[in-house]
Structure 1
Amino acid sequence: MTDTNSLTPVATFCGKCDCGCPQLFIDESAPVERRVVITDDFGQRVEMSADQFGSLIEDAKAGKLDVVAAV
């Protein structure tokens, strides 16, 4: 599993179980382009900049990611 001890937790995307739910973190010690961290329940992680994450949020708010929820 991904080590998250040095990360600041922001959100958990499930929380209804103990399966190692996907989570959103901030890594203040990482380079700016890798400070936003999303982990999954398989022990993987995605690192991105705050600008990239902001674009993802904008797309989600605009409904561009709704097709993913239907899968």
Structure 2
Amino acid sequence: MPRSAGAVPREVSPGGKARSPLAPIATFCGNCDCGCPQLFVDPAAPAERRVVITDDFGQRVQMSADQFASLVAEAKTGTLDSVATA
């Protein structure tokens, strides 16, 4: 089930206690009310999982800032352009 647009996911620690919400950075699309993919930073997460990308189906990818920087660099060089037209 898609999340509602603008909803900030709350993290739950392994002990089941709620942590602070993720810090929203960007929303991709935003032209609808269907729960667009979003980019967050989780300041409480370990460094290797601090960047969080969610999709409109409730799935998520967690990565380090270095991994995210590599993704951004690849996008800037056009390496990922073919994915946008697939």
Q: What TM-score bracket applies, with the shorter chain setting the length?
A: over 0.9
- Pick from 48, 53, 62 the counterpart of residue 47 of structure 1: 62
Matches of 2:61 and 2:44, distance apart in 1: 16
What is the rounded CA distance, in whole Å, between the counterparts of 2:74 and 2:52 in structure 1? Answer: 18
Residue 46 of structure 2, aligned match among 22, 28, 31: 31
Question: How far did residue 55 of structure 1 move?
Answer: 0.1
User: Which runs of structure 1 show a deviation greater than 2 angstroms over 4 or more consecutive aligned residues?
Assistant: none
Which segments of 5 or more consecutive residues in structure 1 lack a partner in the other structure?
A: none
Q: TM-score, normalised by structure 2?
A: 0.78
Tell me the residue number matched to 2:9: 4
**Which structure has greater helix proportion?**
1
Q: d(CA) in 2 for partners of 1:35 and 1:54?
A: 12
**CA-CA distance at 1:4 after TM superposition:** 1.2
CA distance in 1 between partners of 2:26 and 2:34 (Å): 15
| Aligned equivalent of 2:31 | 16
How many Å apart are 1:41 and its aligned residue? 0.3
Residue 61 (structure 1) aligns with: 76
Provide Cα deviations, 1:4-38, integer angstroms capped at 9, x if missing partner.
Answer: 13100000000000110000000000000000000
Q: Distance in 1 between matches of 2:65 and 2:9?
A: 18
The one-letter code matched in structure 1 to 2:84 is A
The one-letter amino acid paired with 1:62 is: T
Larger radius of gyration between Structure 1 and Structure 2: 2
Count of aligned positions: 70
Give 5+ residue unaligned stretches, structure 2.
Answer: 11-20
